[in-house]
Amino acid sequence: MSPIREYDSSWEGDIENKLTEKFGDKIKFTGQEIRRVYAHVERDAIFDVCKFLNDELSFEHCANVIGVDMKDYMQVVYHIDSYTTYKGECVELTVDVPNDDPHVKSVSSIWGGANWNERETWELFGIVFDGHPRLERLLTPETYEFFPFRKSYKLRGWE
Amino acid sequence: MMADDNSEQTKTAGQMPAMKPVVDVAAETAKMETDKMWVIMGPQHPFSHGLWTLKIKVDGEIVTDAEPIVGYLHRGWEKEAENRPYPKIIPMADRLCYAASMTYTHLYCMTVEKALGIDPPDKAKYIMIIADEINRLQSHLMWLAAVGTDLGNFTVFLWAMREREYWMDMNVRLCGARMTTNYPRIGGVRNDTPELFDRDIIRCTEHFEKAVWDIIGLIDDSSIYVSRMKNTGILTPEQCANLGITGPALRGTGVDFDLRRDDPYSNYDQIDFDVPVLKQGDSYARYMVRVEEMLQSCKIIKQAMAKVRALGKNAPYRLKVPSNVPAGRHFAKLEDPRGESMMYLISDGTDKPYRLKVRSPIFVNVSASRELCMGCRIADVPAIMAMIDMCLGETDR
Amino acid sequence: MPMVYSSILDWVNFPDIMANPYYPFETYNLPYDISQKLWEIIGGTIAWLINLLFPGNPVSEWLVCDMTVNFFALIIFMIVVFLVVFIGILISLWEERKVLGRTMDRRGTMVGMKGFLQCVADGFKTFMKEDTQPRKVDRMTYMWTVSLVIGTSMLIACMIPLSDRWYVVNYNTGLLLIMGLFALAPFFILVSGWSQNNKYSLIGGMRAAEMMISYEIPMLILIATACLMAGTFNIGGIVQAQYDTMPYFIPQCIGFVTFFVCANAEAERTPFDLAEAESELVEGWQTEYAGMKWGLIMLADYMRGYVSCAMITILYLGGWNLPFIGDLNNYVPELVFLLKTWLVFFAMIIVRAALPRVRTDQILNLGWKVFMPLSIINLVIVLLLKMGGVF
């Protein structure tokens, strides 16, 4: 097995074009680097974008579902990798979630790898993923009452 | 047994009354659940390396369901990191995966260097390749030791640990500590390689490449070991990729993907090495992949050491970096011995990170234990979970 | 026996033991000899002391008359035989720790006479530990099954003769009796595993019982084959037959290997130790036993290992005779027997160091589909040899 470093610099442009073609203005591209595509997606389109990425563009691996507390609003960041067609590419999708309605559609039905990531994001930030089979506490004890990673939860007593 | 309803039968003269069953056996058996019990391979269990629980639902000997419970070691690492200046997070990153500590610190430094927009000097990159591979060898040898004990043989444990001691000595030569080394820095490494390091490293690799065959021979030549590992925990490549499994477990299933080759970081594109991939998808394939990886690591170390030597003694190994990181979002990925690990940094211009998220490969690998253990026997569960190579520090953070 | 104890030397008189009308054996029996001499010394001392105070009293006379000599000699005989077996088992325990250590690139026990006293100290420590007992166990079976396992193991360990003159009973179905008692263990283990009110013990007990039962069948066939070749079930007879012709591992090499593997399985040693599969089931059927009971179970394990090795030595390696040496045989046959037993045990230890555990269904596969046919093939070979007049 000799090392094959397949990489074609036209891949990022390719991915951007296909996504814009399908989703139009629901998706905005914020940056591009070697093997990286950064995008910002509307909340109601995220499930369709993910499904499109998985089915059509063969991005089979959901590496991460990250929650961020930006104080005025929350964000969910997805990192999705490809193993076959665009080998080595990583797409980052950012979704804004308002504070008073922290609901996002769950992508765990598309990728099993997102299951525990979403569960962890819920228990640490309080972002509810609709359609997740089992949104329970994982890392913190079951009787825990707070969402510890929110900025409003102060770690040290004097802050 | 007469389970049909005999109530219509009347006692007419000359006819024997029909036997009415006291209990309707067929209906009762259908109602009864067959004997399944939840066996809790609990937190205190000789096979779980680290503190976690695996609840398996067993029907006789066959496993029908599995549920891992983690979180006993959750320390709130990411929240704690938001309160510290960037250089002070490096010792914290050591404690994420204590078996292969330099990989996570390297990952962290790469992320921050990306956020700062600087490129560490070449010498530092090659030294970090050597350090990464040494840690990969240490981690894989500890995994090999665990495989032996899980399957019931203590000899493999002691032999693998004996080989690991040589690599720990290399760690000590490089940075002074065996575990939690605190060696990489943002912008390079802490110190240059010491005197005669290249001689020691070459000796170590040559010894290892011969000595590892003793241990592997004990396992491969024994049909008991092989038959306990073959045909258990089989997954298809699509299932593996979908479930988020990465690392040797993925390569043992036939998916040819390795971050060092396909998404190279830190000068790995200057090094020539092979990536072992096997198609069977069972525990034995994952075991063989890791063994091959150990041998490939030796190859990488030799090449990187030659490059370090070629750069000379006076090449820089560390850059000075500002303490405030400009605002932005950056992430870096690294091929951990256990899979694909990643750190995501959101910086806001101060000297403390705004959000620092760690992606641990085992966190996702262990969530797939239900699919891995389904349909196998109780005795296979330790063998399958040993191939996942749990390290609780990074799972629970 | 002179009644006058005027001088100290009077009771150190050691008459011919076989002249005693109550002598229980037919041939010369060494441990009985030792114990009778011991009683002569002890009982004679007491008799002489009492005689000093009350000269000519009936108690001292009774203490040294034939009947009491026999009685007390038998009691000391039991202790002597038990002690020798016990020390022999401790030596095999020590051998295991050292040899296992060396295969794993470490030294094993080092303290006290090259590590031997460490084993004694460990046993002592185990007996001193707190004896916890879970509340809901079935008390009767919990205590009795363990006692029976240990008791039967100790019984057969003591019953194995170490030579022509070191035996407890010498009767014509000796080997069959030993095998019968040896084979009782799985039943006790099964009931013991159930009585502990613990899922793990239940699974462990069932697995141990099914494994041991399926490996007893090849063992029985092989024992019958060896006795067929020798013509008798008497242990002394088998050893003599091997001395006359050749040690039986040469014509019955298949049987030798099969018996070795079955002995490993019966003694619950790795690769067949699923009953104490630590990495899966904590301790299997021994989970809820603590302190002295657990110590005795461990000892019973080593006793069964010792008995298996002793049976291999008797049936296949020629017992207590050394080949080609002739008359030197008569000096210390016991030592020869024990050394051969420990040699077989050495092989068992190496097997334990090198092999992992076999899964339950694979064990049963092996037992029924591989070893039983092999033992029958061995039987056929022996039948052919017998009919051909070679043996």
Token pair recorded at residue C57: 């009293």
The predicted structure's pLDDT at residue C376 = 92
Among chain C residues, CA nearest to B220: C355
Please name the member of C104, C280, C357 whose beta carbon is closest to the beta carbon of B378: C280
Q: How far is CA B74 from CA B77, B78, B80, B349, B364, in A?
A: 8, 10, 12, 28, 16
Domain ranges (residues) in chain B: 2-16+29-69, 78-396
Confidence of residue C364 (pLDDT cuts 50, 70, 90): confident
What distance in Å separates residue B371's CA from the closest CA in chain A?
11
Residues C52 and C177 in one domain: no
What distance in Å separates residue A95's CA from the closest CA in chain B?
14
Write the DSSP assignment of C197-240 as a string of letters. Answer: --HHHHHHHHHHHHHHHHHHHHHHHHHHHHHHHHT-S-HHHHHH
Per the domain annotation, does C115 fall within a domain? no
The CA-based angle C84-C85-C89, given to 5 degrees, is 120
The 10 Å Cβ neighbour count of residue C19 is: 8
Q: Which residues does chain B have within 8 Å of residue C210's beta carbon, measured at their own beta carbons? A: none
Q: What letters, b where the CB count within 10 A reaches 16 and e where it falls short, cover B70-97?
A: bbebbebbbbebbebebeebbebbbbbb
Q: Which of C59, C82, C105 is the last residue of a domain?
A: C82
Highest average pLDDT, of A54-58, A74-78, B220-224, comes from A74-78
The predicted structure's pLDDT at residue C42 = 83
Mean predicted lDDT score pLDDT of chain C: 82
Q: How far is CA A143 from CA A116, A134, A138, in A?
A: 19, 16, 11
Per the domain annotation, does C268 fall within a domain? yes
Confidence of residue C69 (pLDDT cuts 50, 70, 90): confident
Residues C154 and C229 in one domain: yes
Which of C260, C168, C95, C325 has its CA nearest to residue C333? C325
Residues C253 and C359 in one domain: yes
Contact B342 A79 (CB under 8 A): yes
The β-bridge relationship of strands A73-81 and A61-69 is antiparallel
Q: What average pLDDT score do residues C290-297 get?
A: 82
Which of A69, A51, A2, A44 has its CA nearest to residue A130? A44
Within 13 Å and on the Cβ side, how many CA atoms surround C142? 19
Q: Which of C44, C65, C82 is the last residue of a domain?
A: C82
Radius of gyration of chain A (CA): 17
Angle between helix C333-354 and helix B154-175 axes, rounded to 10 deg: 60
Per the domain annotation, does C53 fall within a domain? yes
* Domain encompassing residue C298: 129-387
Q: Which of B173-187, C148-162, C192-206 has the lowest mean pLDDT?
A: C192-206
Residues C65 and C209 in one domain: no
Residues C211 and C353 in one domain: yes
Q: Which of B329, B356, B358, B397 should we substitute to test contact with A (largest number of A Cβ atoms within 10 Å)?
A: B329
How far apart CA C267 and CA C263 sit, in angstroms, is 6
Per the domain annotation, does C87 fall within a domain? no
Residues C133 and C49 in one domain: no
The predicted structure's pLDDT at residue B72 = 86
Among chain B residues, CA nearest to A1: B274
**Is residue C6 pLDDT above 80, yes or no?**
no
Q: What average pLDDT score do residues C145-172 get?
A: 86
Within 13 Å and on the Cβ side, how many CA atoms surround C77? 20
For residue C212, what are the contacts with CB-CB under 8 A and spacing of at least 6? C183, C185, C186, C189, C265, C266, C268
Residues C198 and C52 in one domain: no
The predicted structure's pLDDT at residue A3 = 46
Please give the average pLDDT of every successive group of 10 residues along chain B, which has 397 residues.
42 49 57 66 70 82 85 86 89 86 91 90 90 91 86 86 91 87 88 86 91 86 84 84 87 86 83 87 88 90 89 85 88 89 90 89 88 82 82 83
How far apart CA A120 and CA C156 sit, in angstroms, is 61
DSSP letter assigned to residue C11? S
**Is residue C270 pLDDT above 80, yes or no?**
no
Contact A5 B71 (CB under 8 A): no
Q: Residue B242 in contact with residue A112, Cβ under 8 Å?
A: yes
Q: What average pLDDT score do residues C56-78 get?
A: 82
Q: Which residues does chain B have within 8 Å of residue A77's beta carbon, measured at their own beta carbons? A: 344
Q: Which of B31-40, B144-153, C40-49, C312-321 has the lowest mean pLDDT?
A: B31-40
Which of C279, C268, C208 has its CA nearest to residue B154? C279
Counting the structural domains of chain C, the total is 2
Question: What is the pTM for the complete model shown?
Answer: 0.84
Contact A112 B277 (CB under 8 A): no
C136/B contact by beta carbon, under 8 A: no
Residues C225 and C76 in one domain: no
For residue C119, what are the contacts with CB-CB under 8 A and spacing of at least 6? C90, C93, C94, C97, C109
Q: What average pLDDT score do residues C26-43 get?
A: 84
The 10 Å Cβ neighbour count of residue A44 is: 11
Per the domain annotation, does C21 fall within a domain? yes
pLDDT digits (tens, 9 = 90+) for B96-120: 888 888 899 999 999 999 898 888 9
The residues with which A36 forms a beta bridge, in sequence order, are A33, A90
Does an interface of 3+ CB pairs under 8 Å exist between A and C? no
Q: Which residues does chain C have within 8 Å of residue B373's beta carbon, measured at their own beta carbons? A: none
C271/B contact by beta carbon, under 8 A: yes
Contact B262 A149 (CB under 8 A): no
Please name the member of A3, A4, A112 whose beta carbon is closest to the beta carbon of B243: A112
C205/B contact by beta carbon, under 8 A: no
Start-end of H helices in A24-70: 46-55
Q: Is C163 exposed, middle or buried (0-12, 13-18, 19+ CB in 10 A)?
A: buried
Per the domain annotation, does C234 fall within a domain? yes
Token pair recorded at residue B76: 């709130």
Per the domain annotation, does C112 fall within a domain? no
Token pair recorded at residue B319: 């850059």
How far apart CA A39 and CA A15 sit, in angstroms, is 11
Write the DSSP assignment of C241-286 as a string of letters. Answer: HHHHS--TTTTTHHHHHHHHHHHHHHTT-TTS-GGG-HHHHTTGGG
Please name the member of B39, B152, B158 whose beta carbon is closest to the beta carbon of C279: B152
Sign of CA dihedral C306, C309, C315, C318: negative
Start-end of H helices in B221-282: 223-229, 237-243, 248-251, 259-262
Contact C280 B149 (CB under 8 A): no
The predicted structure's pLDDT at residue B134 = 92
Q: How far is CA A121 from CA B81, B189, C142, in A?
A: 17, 33, 50
Residues C324 and C225 in one domain: yes
What distance in Å separates residue B210's CA from the closest CA in chain C?
17
The predicted structure's pLDDT at residue B226 = 86
The predicted structure's pLDDT at residue B106 = 92
Percent of chain C surpassing pLDDT 90: 10
Token pair recorded at residue C178: 């030993």
Please name the member of C104, C279, C355 whose beta carbon is closest to the beta carbon of B46: C279
Q: Which residues does chain B have within 8 Å of residue C287's beta carbon, measured at their own beta carbons? A: none
The residues with which B51 forms a beta bridge, in sequence order, are none
Contact B244 A5 (CB under 8 A): no
Q: Residue B128 in contact with residue B187, Cβ under 8 Å?
A: no
Per the domain annotation, does C239 fall within a domain? yes
Cβ pairs A/B, distance under 8 A: 102
Q: Residue C112 in contact with residue C94, Cβ under 8 Å?
A: no
Radius of gyration of chain B (CA): 27
**Is residue C288 pLDDT above 50, yes or no?**
yes
Strand residues in chain C grouped as ranges (E):
none
Mean predicted lDDT score pLDDT of chain A: 83
Q: Residue C290 in contact with residue C129, Cβ under 8 Å?
A: yes
Q: Which chains touch B (3 or more CB pairs under 8 A)?
A: A, C
Q: Which residues does chain A have within 8 Å of residue B238's beta carbon, measured at their own beta carbons? A: 60
Contact C279 B382 (CB under 8 A): yes
How far apart CA B168 and CA B382 sit, in angstroms, is 27
The residues with which B331 forms a beta bridge, in sequence order, are B344
Class for the domain spanning B78-396? mainly alpha
Which of A35, A26, A4, A24 has its CA nearest to residue A94? A26
A83/B contact by beta carbon, under 8 A: yes
Total residues belonging to chain B? 397
What distance in Å separates residue A42's CA from the closest CA in chain B?
19
The predicted structure's pLDDT at residue B107 = 92
Q: Residue A96 in contact with residue A45, Cβ under 8 Å?
A: no
Q: Residue B229 in contact with residue B282, Cβ under 8 Å?
A: yes
